């Protein structure tokens, strides 16, 4: 065993004075708090980004194929296109695609209980995967639009239902706005279910109904749609898939990602990465400054020992390495305690959410957690390595200790 490691081990195990023991405990606690804060904050931010992004993708897919209209706003109705089964079959062969589904949108006004509310009714096909809707369903059921008796049923958002003072099982009047200026088409429809995504852009705008019924009411050919929404197996393939699909599209069509359609939301989510890195940097600085202060105090308390070692011929490098090992042990203990604490808190929040949020502000009603084990390993390893390198600085104090003045016998 190296001499420096042996001496540092004896220092760790030796009976400490009350003051030095307190300083060591403070250093370990401060380091563990910093590490736990880094793990918790990154896991919460990761979870928040994933949950909000998943809500957007569940509602509108990862890509949309529409008629190319560069000036159209996000919620405005796209121009009609004709369904192309040959194109759909070709796109389905792409291994990145989970499914592709047609949709239509129609502006409408709902009238019930003396209250009116403007909405955009999104028409989806009968074979649309219902699990994408069921996870946000708060009341009622998703209609089975393959059953002709349920074609006049629709889903409202919880927000719209509250505004209209209506509920599941109630009938409402819907006035579909005609683009050609003709009188609105009026239909009585029944509310089959209420959904809530927590994203105002969707909850305050959309109702969901059957595509075929929508076209029938609005006297649009059954093959006419506003576009296709495409869900991918992995959101990382959005840009790549959009680029590969585009050459297959007819003239005037476009494949556009949800990031391009809703840049304000995704830019805001991307900003959370900056917050994450700023927080990690601040917590790391707190841990490092704390360790430097702690080690300087412990060095000054051991001036007699350092003087004795130097009088016996010990080099400055040996003395420095003793206290680097000593400080490294303190850092390791802090990282171990902080790492366990942070992971346990994340696991508890993931399974039994106790941190609640305002869904109207944060899009979620509880702080979501996603534990990235590689990221946590990087935090633990990075904190230890950087702290160990920085610990060399305070050990320079040992070079300034004067042997003759320290070793005085009375």
**Structural domain contains residue 256:** no
| pLDDT surpassing 50 at residue 260 | yes
50, 82: one domain: no
| pLDDT surpassing 70 at residue 7 | no
223, 323: one domain: no
How many structural domains are present in the chain?
2
Name the DSSP letter for residue 204. T
Specify the pLDDT at position 410.
37
Site of tokens 């909405």: 119
160, 217: one domain: yes
**Structural domain contains residue 259:** no
- Asked which of 219, 251, 283 is the last residue of a domain, the reply is 251
Which of 209, 193, 232 lies closest to 57, judged by CA?
232
286, 362: one domain: yes
Specify the pLDDT at position 10.
64
Domain residue limits at 346: 3-55+266-406
**Structural domain contains residue 370:** yes
pLDDT digits (tens, 9 = 90+) for 47-75: 888 888 888 888 888 999 998 876 555 55
Specify the pLDDT at position 220.
87
Adjacent-strand bridge partners of 71: none
**Structural domain contains residue 260:** no
278, 369: one domain: yes
245, 295: one domain: no
287, 336: one domain: yes
- Asked which of 251, 279, 294 is the last residue of a domain, the reply is 251
CA-CA distances (angstroms) from residue 285 to 224, 295, 331? 60, 15, 13
**Structural domain contains residue 73:** yes
- Asked which of 210, 227, 251 is the last residue of a domain, the reply is 251
100, 215: one domain: yes
Specify the pLDDT at position 277.
86
| pLDDT surpassing 60 at residue 405 | no
Specify the pLDDT at position 103.
93
| Count of other CB atoms within 10 angstroms of residue 274 | 9
- β-pair type (185-195, 153-157): parallel
160, 25: one domain: no
291, 387: one domain: yes
| pLDDT surpassing 60 at residue 401 | no
214, 101: one domain: yes
What is the chain's mean pLDDT, rounded? 82
Q: What is the token pair recorded at 203?
A: 């909850």
**Structural domain contains residue 103:** yes
**Structural domain contains residue 257:** no
Long-range contacts of 234-237 (CB under 8 A, 24+ apart): 234/96, 235/53, 235/57, 235/62, 237/96
36, 133: one domain: no
Specify the pLDDT at position 235.
86
**Structural domain contains residue 60:** no
Least confidently predicted of 154-168, 209-223, 273-287: 273-287
């Amino acid at each position: 065993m190296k001499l420096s490691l042996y001496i540092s081990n004896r220092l760790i195990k030796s009976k400490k004075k009350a003051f030095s023991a307190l300083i060591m405990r403070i250093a370990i606690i401060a380091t563990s708090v910093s590490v736990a804060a880094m793990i918790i904050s990154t896991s919460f931010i990761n979870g928040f980004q994933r949950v909000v992004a998943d809500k957007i993708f569940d509602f509108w897919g990862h890509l949309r194929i529409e008629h190319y209209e560069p000036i159209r706003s996000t919620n405005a109705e796209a121009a009609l296109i004709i369904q192309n089964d040959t194109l759909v079959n070709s796109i389905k062969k792409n291994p990145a695609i989970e499914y592709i589904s047609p949709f239509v949108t129609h502006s409408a006004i709902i009238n019930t209980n003396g209250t009116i509310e403007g909405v955009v009714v999104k028409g989806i096909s009968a074979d649309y995967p219902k699990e994408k809707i069921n996870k946000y369903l708060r009341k009622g059921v998703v209609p089975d639009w393959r059953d002709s008796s349920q074609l006049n049923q629709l889903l409202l958002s919880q927000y719209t239902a509250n505004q209209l003072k209506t509920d599941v099982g109630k009938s409402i009047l819907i006035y579909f706005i005609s683009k050609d200026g003709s009188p609105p088409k009026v239909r009585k429809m029944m509310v089959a279910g209420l959904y809530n995504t927590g994203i105002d852009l969707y909850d305050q705008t959309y109702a969901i109904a059957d595509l075929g019924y929508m076209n029938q009411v609005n006297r649009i050919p059954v093959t006419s749609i506003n576009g296709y929404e495409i869900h991918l197996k992995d959101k990382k393939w959005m840009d790549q898939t959009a680029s590969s699909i585009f050459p297959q599209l007819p003239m005037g069509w476009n494949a556009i990602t949800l990031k391009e359609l809703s840049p304000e939301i995704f830019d805001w989510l991307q900003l959370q990465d900056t917050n994450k890195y700023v927080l990690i940097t601040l917590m790391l600085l707190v841990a490092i400054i704390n360790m430097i202060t702690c080690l300087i105090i412990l060095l000054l308390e051991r001036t007699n020992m350092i003087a004795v070692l130097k009088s016996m011929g010990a080099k400055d490098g040996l003395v420095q390495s003793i206290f680097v090992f000593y400080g490294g042990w303190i850092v390791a203990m802090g990282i171990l305690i902080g790492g366990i604490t942070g992971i346990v808190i994340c696991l508890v929040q993931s399974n039994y959410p106790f941190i609640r949020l305002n869904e109207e502000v944060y899009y979620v009603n509880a702080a979501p957690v996603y534990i990235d084990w590689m990221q946590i390993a990087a935090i633990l390893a990075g904190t230890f390595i950087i702290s160990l390198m920085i610990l060399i600085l305070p050990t320079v104090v040992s070079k300034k200790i004067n042997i003759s003045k320290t070793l005085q016998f009375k």
